[in-house]
Chains A and B, each alone.
Chain A
Amino acid sequence: MTAPRALSCPLCGGALAPPAASRRLVCTYCGRALLYTGEEFMPRFMIPPKLAEADHQKACRLLFRNPMLPGDLGRRAVLLRHQRIYLPFYLLTGKRGGVIAVGKERMVTKLPVQSLSGGAGMGAQMSPARYETKRTDVIVEEDSRVVLGDFHYAYSASALENWDVLDTDLKDMVAAHLDEAVSTTMAELARDADVVDVDIPLDRIVDKGVGAGPSTQGDIKILEMRTALVYLPVAVFTFRYGGEILSAARDEVEGRWLMGQLPFRKDWAPLLALPIMAGLGFVGGNALALLSGVPGGEWAGSPQTVKVVLVAGGLLGLVLVMGLQAAWLILRTPYVARLTPSGLRVEAAGTPPKNPFGPLNTFAAFMVKAMVQGRRRERWIE
């Protein structure tokens, strides 16, 4: 059922706007109290934004200093737009109750029993005693519990299809800040912000959420339920960085980054590769110097040493091939740094181009195979 656009006072005929926060309204013409009985009516509340512009600026600066993001992001990113968006949530509160069968477990310990045979008295012969070990059994007894309690749930009222954010994070935030919610109207919300439309029907939430099927253990019924819409303010920032347009969203209640896609710092690959290459060169050079005696002197290695050098060289070559491929992957895969409520996460935004090291890989595989097979053959001959 859709809300009417205008109403008329039953007492004086004056035109009235549908109520937003309360079913009770007063006619602006005759001043009489009226009750709106529309079934679709849902009071609207908003959690007021707590963060000022300075807070956002500070958070952005801190975010741009993250080592996963390009070093010049803070200097070169230009803020194009700072927009407030209100995300809608259904708030369902009510009472439910019933009697459920829970079953009660009871531990029963059987004490050891000593059985004796033979007659009693002085002359009785005692046969060897038979002992039973101590045994504990769990007995489930029938038991019911009377449940009469309140429920209190927040559900996302919008599918948020273009939002890469887990709605559980947002629902928890709404539930945690309900005490701060204040009554509001759509006009008030839309004054300085965009309001996301409610596109999930309440019936679906009730059927699949709070009223999802009767309990299998008993009969818990929803006795009463009140529904309301609660709006959560979120700040969305749009930046330009080089030729890219970036965006990031931050809630304006707790100040957590919710989502966003930022460029990944790619100079990590050569920066990491440089010390690795230097290390490999240093180790390789020293090994050769040791094998050949004095640095710059004549070759002093035996055939066995030559073999060791070849194996070590092969292994170094393998490390080099793998390192080159890792560097290639890092450089050429379109990585992005994705903002999530738990922090920045690096993800591939697409598939990497074809690996140019194919022939090198084939050669390396051939070498490894030859070395392994050669050793095996030797062993077999022995």
Chain B
Amino acid sequence: MSRPLLVPLCCPKCGSDLDGGPHALIFLCLPCGLAIHASDPRRPYSLSFAAPLLRQAAPDLYAPFWKVEGSFTWSTQDPKKERVYANQRPLGTLFVPAFWSPKAAYYDNLTLRYALQGGPQRLDGAAGPVLDGARPPEVLGELARLTWLAYLDRAADVTGVEGRFQVEDLSYAAIPFYRDGARFLDGILGVPVPEAYFSG
């Protein structure tokens, strides 16, 4: 049976209309705390708002990130590389931008920063307007695998290294950002990003 061309955008839990801007592919139900991707409206993800660590004021915007938790395993025939990788500090939870920004790669890698320096600790912040999210959840496993491999590559070349990332839990986290002149500062580590970071 073919999929209907129009499907109601309503929360599978409470039935109310889902929120989302014109470029959104991920829609939110703020009362229920759920995020739903357009590719699979029957599968909701839990939505949480990160509490800012640096400031108490309400943030100027919330940027959506996928919170990817899982385990990375690697194997290599080279014992020297194995020793080097074993001594690497493991990455923490990966927060992958869910908003679309073709210029994000030119600026700071917030995913790696949060994974190394500690990302949002408390996910009980006040709700607020969230930028449109679009990234499909299906690619997150591969993105996480490549993030890990890139991290290991800094320590020793990953030629011949097999890496696998097993996603264990996916959720949707809105991270606060504050305007600071012509740029924004994230409310967790205070990392500055230009305004264009959010232009999708």
A101 at the B interface (CB under 8 A): yes
Complex contact B142–A97 (CB within 8 A): yes
Q: Shortest distance in angstroms between B19's beta carbon and chain A's nearest beta carbon? A: 8
A33 at the B interface (CB under 8 A): yes
- Which residues on the B side are within 8 Å of A183 (C-beta)? 22
Q: Shortest distance in angstroms between B58's beta carbon and chain A's nearest beta carbon? A: 26
User: What 0/1 readout, one digit per residue, does chain B (91-107) give for beta carbons within 8 Å of chain A?
Assistant: 00000000011111100
> Of A144-152, A267-275, A291-299, A301-309, which binds chain B?
A144-152
Looking across the interface, which residue of chain B has its beta carbon closest to that of A221?
Answer: B142
User: What 0/1 readout, one digit per residue, does chain A (54-98) give for beta carbons within 8 Å of chain B?
Assistant: 000000000000000000000000000000000000000101011
B23 at the A interface (CB under 8 A): yes
A376 to B160, CA, bound (A): 77
B147 at the A interface (CB under 8 A): yes
- Which residues on the B side are within 8 Å of A34 (C-beta)? 6-9
- Interface residue range, chain B: 35 or more
A226 at the B interface (CB under 8 A): yes
User: What 0/1 readout, one digit per residue, does chain A (1-42) give for beta carbons within 8 Å of chain B?
Assistant: 000100111110000100001111000000011111110000
Looking across the interface, which residue of chain A has its beta carbon closest to that of B135?
Answer: A224
A43 at the B interface (CB under 8 A): yes
B77 at the A interface (CB under 8 A): no
- Interface residue range, chain A: 35 or more
Q: Which of B25, B101, B146, B153 contacts A97 (CB 8 A)?
A: B146
- Which residues on the B side are within 8 Å of A11 (C-beta)? 8
A93 to B135, CA, bound (A): 12
- Which residues on the A side are within 8 Å of B61 (C-beta)? none
| B contact patch SS | loop
In residues 61-105 of chain B, which contact A (Cβ within 8 Å)?
A: 100-105
A142 at the B interface (CB under 8 A): yes
Looking across the interface, which residue of chain B has its beta carbon closest to that of A41?
Answer: B5
Q: Shortest distance in angstroms between A267's beta carbon and chain B's nearest beta carbon? A: 53
Q: Shortest distance in angstroms between A353's beta carbon and chain B's nearest beta carbon? A: 56
Complex contact B149–A99 (CB within 8 A): yes
A45 to B178, CA, bound (A): 29
Q: Shortest distance in angstroms between A315's beta carbon and chain B's nearest beta carbon? A: 66
Complex contact B136–A224 (CB within 8 A): yes
- Which residues on the B side are within 8 Å of A179 (C-beta)? 196, 199
Complex contact B25–A23 (CB within 8 A): yes
Complex contact B159–A24 (CB within 8 A): no
Q: Shortest distance in angstroms between A95's beta carbon and chain B's nearest beta carbon? A: 7
A143 at the B interface (CB under 8 A): yes
A23 to B41, CA, bound (A): 13
A97 to B146, CA, bound (A): 7
Closest 3 CB pairs of A and B: A22-B22, A146-B150, A33-B9
Some 30 contacts from A to B, beta carbons below 8 A apart, are A7-B6, A9-B6, A10-B8, A22-B21, A22-B22, A24-B20, A24-B22, A32-B9, A33-B27, A35-B9, A35-B41, A37-B5, A37-B7, A37-B38, A43-B22, A97-B146, A98-B146, A99-B146, A142-B157, A142-B160, A145-B153, A146-B153, A146-B158, A147-B146, A149-B105, A150-B101, A150-B104, A150-B105, A179-B196, A223-B142
